[in-house]
Structure 1
Amino acid sequence: MKKTSEHEHLLAQLRQVADGLGKTLAPFCEVVLHDLTAPEQAVLAIHNNLSGRSVGAPATELGLARAADPAFEQVIANYANTFPDGRLAKSTSIGIKDSQGQYVAALCLNIDLTVFRSLNTMLTQFGSVDTEAAVTDTLRPNGADAIRSHIDQYAARLGTTPRALKAEERKSLMRELKEAGLSDVRRAMDIVAAYLNVSRATVYNDAR
């Protein structure tokens, strides 16, 4: 397919998008820009190279299928993939069409899952405790964890954070804590004040 000025403009802009994504998602995500108008030399840019490809490499089978069919799905997200050396990957491929509805480019993200799976295994091991141990202890005041958990859940429902709650939201929160019996916990007001980063006087006022 012969490149038009529109194609050149789209590809130039996509180079910037790929560069920005590559810098943001480094080093765990490979970002590849494909020129589908030249499938034999499709790879225009590659950031955080995890697959061993280089600029000028040919399009993948998915890229060829998309270039041949304007009705091909435009966004294919989080599909299973494999790097040439066998590492498992999670990929997302985004097709870019011109004003005529023809595919001219594809932006692909390939995440190396082996890194995250290894990290998850280490974190699981690090966070494990001996549930059969004869000794247990707590470093938190009794009931404090339940109060904080309730506050977190309340803030999450509003799409915000505990420390960003507005006055009316705090008053509603205090009503919920009272209804849940959590305002009777020893030093409840101190716990709430510390978690919301407000004064005790503010909490007492919200609780009225």
Structure 2
Amino acid sequence: MKKQTPEQQANQALLSQLEQIAKGIGETFAPFCEVVVHDLLDPKHAILSIQNNLSGREIGAPATELGLARINDPEYPQVLANYANRFADGRRAKSTSIGIKDAQGRYVAALCMNVDLNLFGQMQSMLAQFCQTGSVDITETLDPANADTLREHIDKFSASRSKAPQALKAEERRQLLAELKEAGYLEVRKAVSTIAQHLGVSRATLYNDVKF
């Protein structure tokens, strides 16, 4: 077996790490995203690994046009994100390709991700159908009266202090409760429960903040 040069060893280590990255991305976004590692130093057998094989290609398949373009031009863009693409059977895809260079600035590999948009289109159609409601003209709310308005007031109070409602300190909660009491919100049915839930505290904590 021919001994590898230090440069070849470095490239082999880089490709090995890319395969691990591809595996992690593939497992995270399965089954929607195909992740491919290309060895651009061997363009006739460029595909080194495929996670979530959506394109039907095989290990050892040749480089794509994009891979060849990078091989021929070191100045070719290193990152091409979210460009329109298609699988061989016509399915729409969204692709991102990241070129990997060695220490000399030469393209040696590429990490490519291809998202099957047809799967998301099917999901979108199912969700749209599920969210449809009938044409019967009935007005009903499953929320306590004025609860949305109460939450909106809390959100505005918190935003004026550049905080989330759950991040308000005890003194700020006292100020908020004083405002709500003055505005008459505390007279609303289940107001205390709604406030406590939106602030992420218990009813007992609210009662400790201020005596109603």
Instruction: Look up the equivalent residue of 1:88 and give its one-letter code.
Output: R
Matched, 1:143 2:146: yes
Match of 2:31 among 21, 27, 41: 27
Determine the C-alpha separation between the residues in 2 that align with 1:159 and 1:71.
Answer: 45
1:56 matched residue in structure 2:
60
- Inter-partner Cα distance in structure 1 for 2:133 and 2:120: 22
Question: Does 1:198 pair with 2:201?
Answer: yes
Q: 1:69 aligns with which of 73, 82, 86?
A: 73
Percent identity between matched residues is 51
Contact persistence 2:154–2:176 (CA under 8 A): no
In the superposition, relative to structure 1, how do residues 192 and 28 fare at CA in structure 2: closer, same or farther (>3 Å)? same
Tell me the distance in 2 between the aligned counterparts of 1:182 and 1:79.
Answer: 54
In structure 1, what is the equivalent of residue 132 of structure 2? Answer: 128
Distance 1:173 1:20, change over 3 A: farther
TM-score in terms of structure 1 length: 0.81
Give the alignment's TM-score, normalised by structure 2: 0.80
**Structure 1 residues 184 and 27: CA distance shift in structure 2, 3 A:** same
The equivalences for 1:151-190 within 5 A come to 165-168=166-169, 171=172, 175=176, 178=179, 183=185, 186=188, 187-190=190-193
Tell me if the contact between 1:177 and 1:183 (Cα under 8 Å) persists in the aligned partners: no
Correspondence for 2:96? 92
Q: How far apart are residue 178 of structure 1 and its match?
A: 4.2
1:78-100 CA distances to partner (integer Å, 9 max, x unpaired)?
11110000000111111111111
Whole-angstrom distance in 2 between the partners of 1:207 and 1:150: 18
Paired AA for residue 129 in structure 1:
T
Extract unaligned runs of 5+ from structure 2: none
Report deviation, 1:176: 10
CA pair 19-159 structure 1, distance change in 2 beyond 3 A: farther
Q: Higher Cα Rg: structure 1 or 2?
A: 2
Asked if the contact 2:79/2:96 (under 8 Å) is kept, the reply is yes
The separation in 2 between residues aligned to 1:81 and 1:176, in whole angstroms, is 55
Secondary structure of the residue aligned to 1:32 is strand
